[in-house]
């Protein structure tokens, strides 16, 4: 036994006869149903189970919002809308999909720096909550609201004076394009109080892709403290407090699945305290990848098998143009492998160390670098797991002019 770090065990899909089942169907049969490779497949049952398990784990009284930028496929959003309490959008395009899902406008919020006037107009007309990112954005929202005869519903997105430690992506602390610096928020609150805008509360998002309970607890505690401080100078009672999310999933060798036991216990205590200090406020967390990433796979087909100076390459019809994150080029500093399997030889059969690459003429087009997989020949399917978030819409489909992948919800 070597003590080389390994991927966390994959638990979300059954394996029958050593073949991966997605949506209850062996993958080669699903590929026949889809009619082309490469494709993304998202398993609705896996998403439902994840939201159900999360609700069981979290204390009562925490609302769960889905951050749609993780996976904005309309069918996925429709499915998620039936499971969660609200949707968070980051563009007018996402807002249209959110509204199509039937989620009430009162449960939709819109964050993102650089909201254009057209986006603000659409959001205010729809009656959703704007998470304000700056003083200037608020003034534009006011003018647009006056022209429409609709009072904008606003929450202040705060750039906290702390950070979420050990995060895949830090989005707070220090100078940031996101939100209003905590120390400037009292001035914005005063300004909101002078206007007809409907003040709803705070949005405090400090980071993403975190697998450490102690870091999440520390950030949540600091978030509540910051909210209490700012609430003292708010123009009215808080209706909502969005405490961010940041729950991560295991992508790379050595990473463990997040254990929510302590996070939930701490959150339960904080909720009681929050009701005492702020009254009847809706506390929500917003999660993207944690809800959908593990429910999705990216599937491509081996088109060539070759050996170069001792290393076997499986050349597939899929690659970084469809799945930038798995190639390591979506914010990774040191490239690591996503979990990858051969669809019909998941665990058993002959194993071999191979590199899985795509068809693009660039050395960046790697899906698995020297990984042990079940033997695959030309025509066999290769599966990249953990691909239900930041895959299809986070990839440069046009690069090199190959056809786009398909997406299916099964």
Choices 44-52, 65-73, 77-85, 215-223; region in contact with ligand PLP by CB under 6 A: 65-73
Backbone angles phi, psi at 293, to 5 degrees: -60, -40
- Scan residues 87-146 and list those touching ligand PLP (CB under 6 A): 88, 111
CB atoms within 10 A of CB 255: 17
Q: b vs e for 211-249, b when ≥16 Cβ sit within 10 Å of the residue's Cβ?
A: bbbebbbbbbebbbebbeebbeebeeebbbbbbbbbbbb
The verdict on 86 binding ligand PLP (CB under 6 A) reads no
Nearest to 54 by CA among 245, 339, 251, 270: 245
Closer Cβ to ligand PLP, 87 or 389, answer by number: 389
CB of 271: closest distance to ligand PLP in angstroms? 20
Q: Which of 69, 200 has the CB closer to ligand PLP?
A: 69
Asked if residue 209 binds ligand PLP (CB under 6 A), the reply is yes
Please, which residues have CB within 8 angstroms of residue 95's CB and are 6 or more apart in sequence?
Answer: 89, 108, 110, 119, 122, 123, 126, 128
Which of 265, 174, 179 is closest to 216 using CA atoms? 265
CB of 246 to ligand PLP, least distance (A): 7
Of 53-61, 283-291, 306-314, 397-405, the segment contacting ligand PLP by CB under 6 A is: 283-291
**Min. distance of Cβ 254 from ligand PLP in angstroms?**
19
User: Is residue 388 a contact residue for ligand PLP (CB under 6 A)?
Assistant: no
Which one of the spans 7-15, 262-270, 282-290, 322-330 is the region binding ligand PLP (CB under 6 A)?
282-290
Residue placing its CB nearer to ligand PLP in the complex, 212 or 301: 212
35 CB-contact burial (10 Å; exposed 0-12 / middle 13-18 / buried 19+): exposed
Q: Rounded to 10 degrees, what is the CA torsion of 46, 249, 15, 373?
A: 150
151: which DSSP letter?
Answer: P
Q: Which of 122, 201, 213, 288 binds ligand PLP (CB under 6 A)?
A: 288
**Least separation in angstroms between CB 230 and ligand PLP:** 18
SS3 percent helix, strand, coil of the chain, rounded to 5, is 35, 25, 40
What b/e sequence results for 167-200 when a residue is b if at least 16 CB atoms lie within 10 Å of its CB, and e otherwise?
A: bbebbbbeeeebbbebeebeebbeebeebebbbb
> Cβ–Cβ contacts within 10 Å for residue 317, how many?
19
Q: Can residue 172 be called a binding residue for ligand PLP (CB under 6 A)?
A: no
Least separation in angstroms between residue 333's CB and ligand PLP is: 17
Exactly one of 37, 206, 208, 386 binds ligand PLP (CB under 6 A); which one? 208
Q: Would you say 311 and 355 are in contact if contact means Cβ atoms under 8 Å apart?
A: yes
Choose the stretch contacting ligand PLP; rule: CB under 6 A; options: 143-151, 214-222, 287-295, 336-344: 287-295
Gap between the Cα atoms of 65 and 89, Å rounded: 10
- Scanning 27-35, 98-106, 265-273, 281-289 for contacts with ligand PLP by CB under 6 A, the matching segment is 281-289
Among 69, 200, 321, 323, binds ligand PLP (CB under 6 A): 69
Distance (Å, whole) CA 366 – CA 352:
17
Q: Which of 287, 367, 371, 376 binds ligand PLP (CB under 6 A)?
A: 287
CA-closest candidate to residue 267, choices 246, 253, 249: 246
Among 13, 39, 290, 338, indicate the residue that binds ligand PLP (CB under 6 A).
290
Query: Is 339 one of the binding residues for ligand PLP (CB under 6 A)?
Result: no
Q: Interhelix angle for 44-57 vs 74-81, to 10°? A: 40
Q: How many residues bind ligand PLP (CB under 6 A)?
A: 15
Smallest separation (angstroms) from ligand PLP to the CB of 249 = 9
Using alpha carbons only, give the angle 228, 261, 216 rounded to the nearest 5 degrees. Answer: 45
Q: Based on CB atoms, which residue is closest to ligand PLP, 20 or 108? A: 108
Interaction between residue 70 and ligand PLP (CB under 6 A): yes
Q: Which residue is nearest to ligand PLP (CB)?
A: 288
User: Given the rule CB under 6 A, which residues bind ligand PLP?
Assistant: 67, 69-70, 88, 111, 205, 208-209, 245, 286-290, 389
């Amino acid at each position: 036994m070597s003590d080389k770090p390994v991927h966390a065990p994959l638990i979300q899909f059954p394996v029958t006869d050593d073949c991966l089942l997605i949506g209850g169907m062996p993958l080669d049969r699903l590929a026949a149903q889809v009619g082309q490779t490469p494709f993304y497949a998202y398993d609705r049952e896996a998403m439902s189970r994840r939201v159900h398990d999360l609700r069981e784990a979290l204390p009562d009284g925490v609302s769960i919002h889905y951050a749609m930028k993780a996976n904005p496929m309309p069918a996925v959003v429709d499915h998620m809308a039936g499971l969660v309490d609200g949707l968070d959008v980051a563009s007018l395009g996402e807002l249209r999909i959110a509204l199509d899902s039937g989620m009430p406008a009162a449960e939709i919020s819109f964050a993102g720096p650089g909201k254009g006037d057209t986006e603000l107009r659409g959001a205010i007309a729809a009656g959703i909550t704007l998470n304000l990112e700056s003083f200037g954005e608020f003034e534009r929202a006011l003018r647009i609201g006056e022209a429409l005869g609709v009072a904008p519903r606003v929450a202040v997105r705060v750039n906290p004076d702390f950070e979420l430690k050990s995060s895949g992506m830090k989005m707070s602390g220090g100078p940031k394009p996101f939100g209003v610096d905590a120390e400037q928020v009292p001035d914005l609150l005063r300004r909101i109080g002078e206007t007809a805008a409907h003040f709803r509360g705070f949005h405090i998002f400090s980071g993403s892709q975190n697998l450490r309970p102690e870091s999440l607890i520390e950030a949540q505690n600091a978030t509540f403290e910051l909210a209490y401080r700012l609430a003292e100078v708010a123009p009215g009672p808080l209706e909502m407090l969005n405490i961010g999310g940041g729950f991560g999933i295991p992508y790379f060798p050595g990473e463990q699945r997040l254990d929510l036991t302590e996070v939930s216990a701490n959150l339960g205590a904080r909720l009681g305290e929050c009701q005492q200090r702020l009254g009847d406020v809706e506390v929500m967390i917003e999660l993207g990848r944690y809800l959908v990433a593990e429910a999705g796979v990216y599937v491509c087909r081996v088109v060539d098998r070759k050996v170069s100076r001792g290393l076997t390459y499986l050349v597939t019809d899929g690659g970084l143009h469809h799945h930038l994150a798995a190639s390591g080029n979506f914010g990774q500093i040191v490239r690591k492998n996503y979990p990858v399997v051969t669809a019909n030889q998941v665990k058993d059969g002959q194993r071999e160390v191979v590199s899985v690459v795509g068809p693009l003429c660039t050395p960046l087009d790697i899906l698995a670098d020297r990984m042990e997989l079940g033997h695959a020949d030309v025509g066999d399917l290769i599966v990249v797991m953990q691909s239900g978030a930041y895959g299809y819409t986070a990839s440069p489909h046009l690069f090199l002019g190959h056809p786009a992948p398909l997406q299916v919800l099964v």
